[in-house]
Amino acid sequence: MEKYINTVIVGSGSYMAGQVIKNDYFLNAEFYDTNNERIPRSNEEIIEKFKEIVGIDERRYADDHITNSDMASAAAQIAIEEWGGDKNTLDYVIVAHNYGDMVQGVHAVEIVPNMACRVKHKLGITNNKCIPYDMIFGCPGWLQGVILGHQFIQAGLAKNILVIGSDTLSRAYDPHDRDSMIFADGAGAVVLSAIEDSKKYGVLSTAVQSDNGDEIEYLKGGPSLNPDYAGKRPSMIRMAGRKVYEYVLKNVPAAIKEAMDKAGVELQDTEKMLIHQANEKMDEAVFLRLKRLYRGCTHESKDFMPLTLSFLGNSSVATVPTLYDLVKKGKLGEHHFTAGGNIIMASVGAGMNINALVYRFPEGE
């Protein structure tokens, strides 16, 4: 009988940053456009338009004394406890992030030692054969970490891997940019394990693409839109919103279909899609374009595509693992996973990078 080495999520955890930031937090902001000129409209109008397009009512910011590696470690500890294994049997710790540890008010990125080393230390992992890797891949970083972990397991290089996504975007945005209202803080983590079985489940397939021509300008660091800003942050998140939107709609549905084709799974055969969330209308448009590729699919987005954007904002690499953890533990309304069910995970972000993964739950779970 054929045996499979399955890459299976055996534990998950998430960390909700301590400060709840509602949209009225930005009522006193001074917003500038890309020509470095003050936007003449009222903040009430700007915020209302933002809510209508993006779908965010509130987001989470980390408390001032909490660092990114603190959040990552907290989410990881929950995942390890749920797994129930010995943390010193972990072969790799992979931490996806974009800005390392940024101390509140300092505006300097700290990545020496790297985030994975810091997290391994904070978790008390003493095994010096447990290798700490950082994954810098834009918002798709956590999912890329899972894909890398899956490849390690399939190559026989690892049995247990911790994969974390964590970011404090609230310490990296430009307070004079309307897009700053999108960004949030948070962390999510999973433990992957190699499980041998006569049935195939866990990670079924993956797809990745990276477009680095003109697309490299769509999401990057830059100075404040306010030329007189006293914050002196050398590089803050800058997003070309329209170009990102067009790129996503053109490329993400095809990347998801590529992963599904590899798995031999139809859209109707999947029960949920966990997609990176930065814009509610954009995610809905991705779903509708994907649905058009599968005749007879009866899924509706509200049932098929759980959303956390309205109350957690865009927490970058933390979005998908946090979403997974909340659904897995029955903390997101009527959304649940079922034993033997298939789900899609997908993300897109700076690079521009896209990835997608098809995952099947064990039948006995």
pLDDT of residue 33: 92
Between the alpha carbon of residue 222 and those of residues 22, 108, 218, 342, the distances in Å are: 26, 14, 12, 40
Which are the contacts of 149, defined by CB distance < 8 A and separation ≥ 6? 7, 92, 94, 158, 161, 163, 192
Two tokens at 205? 């397939």
Residue 77 CA to residue 92 CA, distance in Å, equals 15
pLDDT of residue 284: 94
- In this model, does residue 111 exceed pLDDT 90? no
pLDDT of residue 110: 79
Amino acid at residue number 200: K
Summarize pLDDT for 215-237 with one digit per residue, the tens: 999 999 888 899 888 765 667 88
The number of residues making up the chain comes to: 365
CA dihedral 179, 167, 135, 194 (to 10 degrees): -120
pLDDT of residue 234: 61
Two tokens at 248? 């996503």
Q: How many CB atoms lie within 10 A of CB 40?
A: 8
- In this model, does residue 309 exceed pLDDT 70? yes
Instruction: Assign 238 a pLDDT band (cuts: 50, 70, 90).
Output: confident
pLDDT of residue 232: 58
- Is the separation of the CB atoms in 327 and 306 below 8 Å? yes
Summarize pLDDT for 158-172 with one digit per residue, the tens: 999 999 999 999 999
pLDDT of residue 231: 65
Two tokens at 275? 């997609």
122: buried, middle or exposed (CB in 10 Å: 19+, 13-18, 0-12)? middle
Summarize pLDDT for 59-102 with one digit per residue, the tens: 999 999 999 999 999 999 999 999 999 999 999 999 999 999 98
Two tokens at 303? 């049932």
- In this model, does residue 12 exceed pLDDT 90? yes
**352: preceding bond cis by omega (within 30 degrees):** yes
The model scores a pTM over 0.85: yes
340 or 109: which leads in pLDDT: 340
Q: Which of 119-128, 169-178, 196-205, 249-258 has the lowest mean pLDDT?
A: 169-178
- Is the separation of the CB atoms in 267 and 287 below 8 Å? no
pLDDT of residue 222: 86
CATH code of the domain occupying 4-197 = 3.40.47.10
pLDDT of residue 229: 85
For the chain, the structural domain boundaries read: 4-197, 202-360
User: What percent of the chain shows pLDDT beyond 90?
Assistant: 87
pLDDT of residue 138: 94
Instruction: Assign 365 a pLDDT band (cuts: 50, 70, 90).
Output: low
- Whether 4-197 shares its CATH topology with 202-360 is answered yes
- In this model, does residue 106 exceed pLDDT 80? no
Instruction: Assign 103 a pLDDT band (cuts: 50, 70, 90).
Output: confident
pLDDT of residue 126: 98
pLDDT of residue 182: 95
Summarize pLDDT for 133-159 with one digit per residue, the tens: 999 999 999 999 999 999 999 999 999
Name the average pLDDT for the chain. 94
Mean pLDDT, rounded, for 342-365? 94
Between the alpha carbon of residue 8 and those of residues 146, 152, 319, the distances in Å are: 10, 13, 20
Q: Does domain 202-360 have CATH number 3.40.47.10?
A: yes
pLDDT of residue 93: 98
